[in-house]
Structure formats: C-alpha cells, structure tokens
Amino acid sequence: MFSTVAPTADVADSAVLGPGTRVWHLAQVREDARLGESCIVGRGAYIGSGVQVGDNCKIQNYALVYEPARLADGVFIGPAVVLTNDHRPRAVNPDLSLKSASEWEPVGVTLEEGASVGARSVCVAPITIGAWAMIAAGSTVIRDVPAFALVAGAPARRIGWIGRNGHRLEQIDTYTWECPATGARYSQDGEVLTELESD
C-alpha cells in the first residue's frame, strides 16, 4: 500500500509518509515530519517541521499543526484547529528588530491515543491532551486535559467524561461511570478516570 499525495500538495522530500496515508489538495507537510500508516491530511492543512503523527490519524481541512507537536495513534484534529508552539509570541525583540528562528524555543502540544479536538479549537502549548479525551468545537485549551475528559469553552473546562467510542458517560454511583452504548465502565478518582477491565 502506497501513500497518496495530491498534485497541489507540498510535501518536503525529507518528510516520511506511512503506507496508506493520503495528503489532499493544498496541504503542506514540512521537513522531517513523520506520519504513520493510513493517516489523512485534509485540504489546506499544515504539518510543521519534525511533527510526529501516529497511525490512523485524521487531520482535517485547514488545521495547523505546528512543531513540535506529537500525535499518538488514532488522533482526530478537526477542521481549522490550531496547535500552537509559542507561549510568548512576538514578531520583534524589545528594540523592534525582527526575531529570528534562533531567538525563541518552540513548545508543543502532545495528544495521546484516540484524543479528538473539535473544529476551530485552539490548543495553547505546552499542554498534553490525554488518551480518548474530547475537546468540544470552538474551545480554547490552556491546560492539560486528563484521559477520557470532555472539555468545552474558553478557557476549556471539563464538563463530563467520554468513552472510547465518543459517547458521553453516565454516572452510576459516586465513583463509577458507564458508557450507554457499550456498557464499558470507568472508575473516577478526583480528576482521573480509569477504564475498568470487563468481566
């Protein structure tokens, strides 16, 4: 299985695309970026230099994934999402001279397995979004998000818990949550949710 790159896409020679990965029209994949197997990079999306993307990820139209972002397997990045890389952004130094690439240190957003970021959300680095967490569309994320958390707003706050298949979990008792679609159960300890093993 080969990767597929649209004729209008711009993929650097040093970028690595796994088998089955597709890069659509007007997308840009920069130098030394590495994308795993069966990924989709939508129209007009940007993947920065050295960004690491796992297998089976979807990066939708016009998303901006700036280096040094790290995406684990199964991550979803919605349309027009921005993963930033500078928490003190300035175009110039105090003397108004233009900043060069060597005058700042990029910081990244890390997304763990299965995490999803909804359309037009902004994730302000440096943060980690936990496994299977879901960021609601239009959110501004400025702090780490725990695994299985459902967060929304600006700034984003946890409004519930979400299961692996994307259904909002229902509370069974003080410490136990359940997926209404699959019956999978989870145990809560403070702001940490752990998936319980099925019988």
Mean pLDDT within 120-141: 98
DSSP3 helix / strand / coil % (the chain, rounded to 5): 0, 35, 60
Give the C-alpha distances (Å, rounded to integers) separating 156 from 43, 44, 138: 27, 26, 9
Q: How confident is the model at residue 87 (pLDDT cuts 50, 70, 90)?
A: confident
> Model pTM?
0.95
Distance, in Å, from the CA atom of 93 to the CA atom of 109, rounded to the nearest integer, reads 25
| Residue 110 pLDDT exceeds 90 | yes
Rounded CA Rg of the chain: 18
Within 10 angstroms of residue 30's Cβ, the number of other Cβ atoms is 19
Which percentage of the chain shows pLDDT scores above 90?
92
Mean pLDDT within 143-168: 97
Residue 161, beta-bridge partner list: 149
Tell how far CA 96 is from the center of its chain: 34
**Size of the chain, expressed as the number of residues it contains:** 199
SS (H, E, C) 171-199: ECCCCEEECCCCCCEEEEECCEEEECCCC
Residue 107 · residue 88 · CB < 8 Å: no
For residue 116, the SS3 value is: strand
User: pLDDT tens digits, residue range 23-47?
Assistant: 999 999 999 999 999 999 999 999 9
Residue 78 · residue 137 · CB < 8 Å: yes
Mean pLDDT within 122-138: 98
